[in-house]
Chains A and B, each alone.
Chain A
């Protein structure tokens, strides 16, 4: 397969996944903000989203203050912000357009209509209709896009690159959501009604509330939440699950340059496979997640060098 085609497929799936996870993160922050708290605390939660995405400077250049409305506007509909949901949906569609002969008609139309509809929604319209509705819509469009991929695309190399993009992005994004929320939640760690709702919202943001109940049949504790989202092997948004898929799909597309990238993916996977949540928490969850996200970044870089923009063997 043409490297450029693989590159477009990889990024098409990363951007739609990123849009979905951003919707999830904003949704959980929005829900948590409805629990009684000080204004400062609330604004800190919003600020954490900006910092998490390394957007402090870009945000400060356009918006005078950190508050719910400004952060939502910036992260939902700001066309100047390349990390906004608006931009992610646009970039997913642009990548799809460049390979519309490779993907199926259903996939193309799904991503294209998603972008068309997103483009036509102003931030005010989104607010008026209920921002929660919008986040649901983004999640559904992302699901639809995954569904048409699964239901219509030949499972050849193109499919493997799409899966690789989805899972790598999701691993990074789940780690981010956990990092930012765990961080905020942990210091107030006394047992209480507030915490229950906060942890509940976090679990819901990764569609893991019912999963948690089913898996533990017990009260929600931060340790178990971390365990579920990091180590659970069969939970589709956990880091372990994502790495299962990354390793598998990398094996399927391997070429003669990709040995080191495969080794690193395998190592990361093995560490998740044999890890205990006590050890991770003892090391410090924030430190552990930061290291994980760095390694995901290195993996993405390796995939890019090995497959997507190989140096021309001309020179």
Chain B
């Protein structure tokens, strides 16, 4: 139970803090435009007003202490690597009314379904490329496209078993998908720990609200992982594969393995014989059927990908291609969450499902197109420019917050290598009251629901991880400042 590292909080912070300096209209999750409390926050607001500040202060101290205790255990190995940090926890929940969640959920289902169909298609018949919906070279020349996956049939046709879709709300409260994380999305342990902490601190709030439970996530995950076992395996052995104790998300790996009651393995615990994967146990070798891997494609198999990887399992790709083991997520999902493919997701939904997209994409200018590039160059101070293959807030320009020099620098970059960049309008992220040093003040947030797929079935626990930018007005991308998290409540009718 720890709030340490492992998530890319920098990007959200930049996007959010930027807005403080501009004149945009923000959607406030708790208050309406006239300053009245929104209906779904009414009970919480009543409670907040009637609860003595001393009690709240005491509870916040209690939460700090609880996390601090665990924080100590993690500070230890910050000393060697310096990459672990604590992610603060805020006691004001982010509340989502039932109807809003239902709409969001159905949009997420639709989107993840289409993304899985897209992945299956590009590794098989490539209909979407033949139909000219997406330029073939955008997909086939993408570094994240894995030719070794061509023609490989994965169980249920599912590639992204676990998707962490980042969603934000803009000016009028409408949802936008910012990014689809289809490789090894992290953060779900914080979602679960936040809920545990809130229930421990404020049981009375849960008596007053019908908060949809989330604690069954590990069960749901295990069910999904078992459901995608190789053909003919009736009682599959599932494991979680971690890069090891020095990985920043190691806590989450141990947490999930423990909660699911499965082994947490490292690459060196596994070996491949006759295209079958085994783990070495005290009672001899044991066959492994499903691997929830928290290692990137590049490090999975030194025989197939990076030869210098000591984290992977030699020969695992062959076992996978032979259908003797299931990897979750599949190899080669990165091509579908790449920023250069993102703009085409609405088209994918129309193409594969014949439906109109239920969730908005952020309008995206693809700088490799002449018209788009011209527009971007003319509007740099208003736009956010991102490197196509960048992540975590690196290699990006936030126009409204940038200096003239930075803008000029990006202008040169864009002219030199236009196909390496996309641009988007700056979003006015919604905000929510949050405890900060000067009291309660609005801070911007996003939401990462964790969407689980197997076969035709797409499920998620209500809500997800809410991340909140704690610094007001800061324009510096300072990873040491980090973001915070909030418990996310979906109210049942």
Question: Chain A: residues with CB nearer than 8 A to chain B?
Answer: 1-6, 97-98, 100-101, 108-109, 112-113, 115-116, 157, 161, 253, 255-257, 307-308, 310, 312-314
Contacts and interface: CB of A to CB of B under 8 A. Distances in A.
Give the interface SS of chain B, mostly helix, strand, loop or mixed: mixed
B265 interface: yes
B258, B282, B284 pick with most chain A CB within 10 angstroms? B282
A308 B283 CA distance: 10
Interface residues of B, number: 27
Contacts of A115: 76
B280 interface: yes
A5 B73 CA distance: 20
Given A2-B280, A4-B269, A112 B254 contact: no
A152 B269 CA distance: 27
A98 B268 CA distance: 13
Given A101-B257, A108-B73, A314 B273 contact: yes
Contact of A1 (B266, B271, B281): B281
Contacts of B263: 2, 5
Nearest to A157: B282
Q: Max chain A CB contacts within 10 Å: which of B72, B244, B254, B283?
A: B283
Interface in B148-176: none
A256 B72 contact: no
Contact of A313 (B72, B245, B255, B284): B284
Given A112-B76, A307-B282, A3 B258 contact: no
B483 to A, nearest CB: 25
Contact of A2 (B245, B255, B269): B269
22 contacts: A1-B281, A1-B282, A1-B283, A2-B263, A3-B282, A4-B266, A97-B77, A101-B255, A101-B257, A101-B258, A108-B73, A112-B72, A113-B72, A157-B282, A255-B283, A257-B284, A308-B282, A310-B280, A310-B285, A312-B271, A313-B284, A314-B272
Contacts of B265: 2, 4
Interface centre among A2, A6, A108, A113 (most CB of B within 10 A): A2
B88 to A, nearest CB: 22
A85 B264 CA distance: 30
A30 to B, nearest CB: 30
A314 B271 contact: yes
B114 to A, nearest CB: 35
A26 to B, nearest CB: 26
Contacts of B284: 255-257, 310, 313
B264 A3 contact: no
B254 A6 contact: no
A44 B225 CA distance: 63
A9 to B, nearest CB: 10
Contacts of A255: 282-284
B44 interface: no
A97 B282 contact: no
Interface string B194-216: 00000000000000000000000
B390 to A, nearest CB: 32
B211 to A, nearest CB: 26
B351 interface: no
Contacts of A310: 280, 284-285
Given A97-B245, A113-B72, A307-B282, 16 more contacts: A1-B282, A2-B265, A3-B281, A6-B282, A98-B244, A98-B245, A100-B254, A157-B282, A253-B282, A255-B284, A257-B284, A312-B271, A312-B280, A312-B285, A314-B273, A314-B278
B279 interface: yes
Contact of B268 (A4, A157, A253): A4
B279 A2 contact: yes
A289 B266 CA distance: 40
A116 B69 CA distance: 12
B281 A2 contact: yes
A30 B76 CA distance: 32
A-B interface, 10 closest residue pairs, ranked by CB to CB distance from nearest: A101-B254, A101-B258, A314-B273, A3-B280, A307-B282, A314-B271, A312-B271, A6-B282, A255-B283, A313-B285
A6 B278 CA distance: 17
Nearest to B74: A112
Nearest to A313: B285
Contact of B280 (A4, A113, A157): A4
Nearest to B258: A101
Nearest to A253: B282
B182 to A, nearest CB: 26
Interface in B274-301: 278-285
Interface string B12-42: 0000000000000000000000000000000
A307 B284 CA distance: 8
Contacts of A6: 282
A6 B281 CA distance: 8
A98 B247 CA distance: 11
A13 to B, nearest CB: 15
Interface centre among A3, A6, A101, A310 (most CB of B within 10 A): A101
